[in-house]
């Protein structure tokens, strides 16, 4: 599935962004599976806004965005849910875990929303790999932000997807844990022949990117 943008500009940032040079805003650009795309995004250029637009959490923009041949503005609630359950997985910057559910329950919600593509024992292996197996039965609200970030990454990997979209997914991880998380993501995306779109403030060498762009 391709993700394409045609002259997209978020309305609240329009005046500012039109004065800046960008590889994304107000351009025609197509992302094609299995590309791995790094989007470096300086502060104030709309990094999280971009991720939210790609996932159709915001509609306050000009231009158009397509998932495959579908303009996302034309999708009804059921069609949107199917895309999010089958085609696009996401790691939010603010994580969006349910605080009163355990770490494991947060992961399981994503895993069982559809016919599971990931067995429950694989969740245990991923949790052990990322060093969070000991907090699986804790409410998410009692986990550190770094632990929550690793849980959010596992949650994103347990569902089917053709695209994995991530907004600063390693911001609260040290280099060792970030490297472990990147290796887990790499293995999952290669297995599925999936694409990656990741935004961050800085350059990195966690993935073998096919393109690097400036927001």
Burial of 148 (0-12, 13-18, 19+ CB in 10 A): buried
Q: What is the pLDDT of residue 207?
A: 97
Q: What is the pLDDT of residue 44?
A: 78
Q: What is the pLDDT of residue 190?
A: 97
The rounded average pLDDT for each run of 10 residues, N- to C-terminus, in the chain (215 residues) is 97 91 96 97 88 96 98 96 95 97 96 84 96 98 97 97 97 96 98 97 94 96
Residue 190: what are its φ and ψ, rounded to 5°? -65, -40
For the segment 177-207, what is each residue's pLDDT rounded down to a tens digit? 999 999 999 999 999 999 999 999 999 999 9
Whole-structure pTM value: 0.95
Q: What is the pLDDT of residue 115?
A: 76
**CA 211 – CA 102 distance, rounded (Å):** 37
Q: What is the pLDDT of residue 160?
A: 94
């Amino acid at each position: 599935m391709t993700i394409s943008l045609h002259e997209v500009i978020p309305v609240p940032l329009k005046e500012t962004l039109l004065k800046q040079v960008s590889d994304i805003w107000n351009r025609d650009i197509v992302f094609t599976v299995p590309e791995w795309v790094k989007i470096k995004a300086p502060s104030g250029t709309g990094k999280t806004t971009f991720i939210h637009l790609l996932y159709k959490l915001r509609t306050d923009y000009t231009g158009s965005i397509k998932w495959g041949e579908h303009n996302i503005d034309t999708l009804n609630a059921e069609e949107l849910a199917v895309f999010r359950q089958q085609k696009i997985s996401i790691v939010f910057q603010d994580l969006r875990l349910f605080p009163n559910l355990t770490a494991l329950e947060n992961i399981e919600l994503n895993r069982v929303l559809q016919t599971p593509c990931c067995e429950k024992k694989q969740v245990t292996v991923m949790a052990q790999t990322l060093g969070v197996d000991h907090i699986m039965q804790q409410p998410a609200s009692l986990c550190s932000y770094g632990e929550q970030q690793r849980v959010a990454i596992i949650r994103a990997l347990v569902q089917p997807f053709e695209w994995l979209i991530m907004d600063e997914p390693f911001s609260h991880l040290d280099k060792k844990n970030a490297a472990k998380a990147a290796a887990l993501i790499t293995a999952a995306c290669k297995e599925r022949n999936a694409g990656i779109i990741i935004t961050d403030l800085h350059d990195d060498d966690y993935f073998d990117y096919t393109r690097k762009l400036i927001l």
